Amino acid sequence: MSQQVILNANKATSNGVKKLFLYNTLTRKKEEFKPIKKGKVGLYTCGLTVYNFAHIGNLRTYLFEDILKRVLLYNGYKVKHVMNITDVGHLTGDRDMGEDKLEKGAAREGKTAWEIAEFYTKEFKKDLERLNIIEPDIWCKATDHIKEQIELIKKLEKRGYTYKISDGIYFDTSKVKDYNKLSHQPLEKLRAGARVEVNEEKKNPTDFALWKFSPAGEKRQMEWPSPWGVGFPGWHIECSAMSMKYLGEQFDIHCGGVDHINIHHTNEIAQAESATGKKPWVKYWLHGEFLNISGGEKMAKSQGNFLTLENALIKKGINPLVYRFAVLQTHYRKPMEYSEGAIKNAEKGLKHLYNQARELTDTDFYQIGGQVGGTTLHSISPPNKKFKDEFLQAVNDDLNTPQALAVVQKVFKSSLADEEKLGTIIDFDKVFGLNIEKELYNFVKPENIEALINEREKARKERNFKESDRLRKEIEKKGYRVEDTEVGMRFFKK
Ligand code: AMP
Ligand code: ZN
């Protein structure tokens, strides 16, 4: 989707009256969203640990975050979105025990940790693109920000929050009065959870590593010098350091999956607020529920029960946007169960939606060239005000996408003119991201004239009008009428 289209949406809603409400994990309440700086939003989303492919559970979380971002844009906010890539420091146990996931991945595949990180980062970005997820404005890798992480640990050390044990520098969680404010769990319960992975030297079970030393006599693939010794950063420090670097010491929204609440995000808050003394560090915390498999079990890379976009959809010839559609059908704070049947149903549902939209167009045509950009097409009118309000009401109620999809069906059934229906639905698709408009032009692909189309496009680019006219006649002989529009060539079946 072009920026232009999004800006148009902003104009249309900037004087709208619908307030945006989001469920804040910090307060356990739906709250009216009020940004720190008027009209602007700083958004940080925890990225992938790149030691394997993203599974469709991870991708559910990235889809929820994309919907959030699109809803913010739709409401007229300017969004600065930062996403990290965890390429060092995340150990097999979330509490700093076990092996580094990257080094483990490297051993599994006979590659270096650096090669593993590069490969899976590329694959991750490919998946996001296939799901029509808008790229963050800033990508940041943990290994590119070692200096910032060391600086932050130094600040914490100066303020008396750290201590040293044999395998690293740790954060003393007993020094933070409101350590459990995000999890809302009694401290005793958090401590009990932390005892699963024991490190006898730690002062408190919930304490976590800020910097881990490379094991004596061993050279790790990823290690750096530091004031405390050669080693690598703990997992949580990267997100505190990088988010503050790019979004400032206080910012609006931070997201992830629900598994991050009790450990990762709790520790990120402890680090950031202890280092700056500013509270709250982040105003709104949003968490997406899990994608489960086989009756309520979390899909997880470590469990080996995971499916990738490639395996679950693409290899079977299913449009990846079918998964996006499936995710939209479930509210982000409800668990979602994966099954082949659910994907099949979503496939039917999305095809139906595309067909409903196509039925609103007057002729069968295929379009080539140009950015298909709504605003320049004559047959699509601006969105209907009443339905737009209803749609906003739904998405602004803590991203209620199932209800927003129900509004789409209301539009189809309404007495609006076809053009207005189409314009309204294409406007809603700025939030859904299902490429409805693009789909309208793709459906009668005239294979028998493909070569002629390509030649004519070339001729037009070279401004060879004589040749272009000759090719038009050739195409007409094959049963198509050609129309040259502002957005490219369009072909109608005669
Ligand atoms: P990780 O690569 O483990 O850091 O996870 C990347 C993102 O995916 C995080 O926001 C996790 O909370 C999220 N996540 C992990 N497993 C699932 C799952 N089964 N369903 C939804 N989100 C998940
Ligand atoms: Zn994070």
pLDDT tens across 104-128, in order? 888 889 999 999 999 999 999 999 9
Ligand 1 within 6 A of CB of 290: yes
Same domain (yes/no): 83, 221: yes
Give residue 455 CA to ligand 2 midpoint distance, Å: 50
Same domain (yes/no): 170, 278: yes
Chain-centroid distance of CA 408 in Å reads 23
> Which tens digits make up the pLDDT trace of 355-400?
899 888 765 556 555 443 333 344 568 999 999 999 999 999 999 9
> Which pLDDT does position 491 carry in this prediction?
72
Question: Does the pLDDT value for residue 261 go beyond 60?
Answer: yes
Same domain (yes/no): 397, 269: no
Average pLDDT over residues 268-295: 96
What CATH number is attached to the domain comprising 158? 3.40.50.620
Same domain (yes/no): 228, 375: no
Ligand 1 within 6 A of CB of 256: yes
Question: Does the pLDDT value for residue 303 go beyond 50?
Answer: yes
Distance CA 179, CA 430 (A): 39
Boundary of a domain, candidates 270, 288, 306: 288
> Which pLDDT does position 219 carry in this prediction?
87
Boundary of a domain, candidates 225, 260, 288: 288
Q: Which domain holds residue 405?
A: 361-493
Distance CA 311, CA 250 (A): 40
Under the banding of pLDDT at 50, 70 and 90, the label for residue 1 is very low
Do 396 and 16 meet the contact criterion of CB atoms below 8 Å apart? no
Ligand nearest to the CA of 94: 1
305: in domain: no
Question: Does the pLDDT value for residue 254 go beyond 50?
Answer: yes
Looking at ligand 1, which atom is closest to the CA of residue 256? Answer: 10
> Which pLDDT does position 482 carry in this prediction?
84
Number of domains composing the chain = 2
Looking at ligand 1, which atom is closest to the CA of residue 290? Answer: 20
Mean pLDDT of the chain: 89
> Which tens digits make up the pLDDT trace of 436-460?
988 876 655 566 787 888 899 889 8
The pTM for the full model equals 0.87
**58 burial level (CB within 10 Å; 0-12, 13-18, 19+):** buried
Same domain (yes/no): 402, 277: no
Q: Residue 329 is encoded by which pair of tokens?
A: 């059908």
Give residue 263 CA to ligand 2 midpoint distance, Å: 10
Boundary of a domain, candidates 265, 288, 311: 288
Same domain (yes/no): 188, 63: yes
315: in domain: no
Same domain (yes/no): 12, 142: yes
Looking at ligand 1, which atom is closest to the CA of residue 289? Answer: 21
Comparing CA positions, the residue from 367, 93, 62 lying closest to residue 212 is 93
> Which pLDDT does position 368 carry in this prediction?
57
Same domain (yes/no): 235, 372: no
> Which tens digits make up the pLDDT trace of 286-297?
999 999 997 888
Same domain (yes/no): 281, 422: no
Do 206 and 196 meet the contact criterion of CB atoms below 8 Å apart? no
Under the banding of pLDDT at 50, 70 and 90, the label for residue 280 is very high
Average pLDDT over residues 389-418: 97
Looking at ligand 1, which atom is closest to the CA of residue 48? Answer: 2
Question: Does the pLDDT value for residue 233 go beyond 60?
Answer: yes
147: in domain: yes
Question: Does the pLDDT value for residue 55 go beyond 50?
Answer: yes
> Which pLDDT does position 326 carry in this prediction?
98
345: in domain: no
Distance CA 395, CA 20 (A): 8
Distance CA 194, CA 207 (A): 9
Give residue 259 CA to ligand 2 midpoint distance, Å: 11
For residue 405, the SS3 value is: helix
Higher pLDDT, 488 or 427: 427
Do 104 and 90 meet the contact criterion of CB atoms below 8 Å apart? no
Ligand nearest to the CA of 261: 1
Ligand nearest to the CA of 47: 1
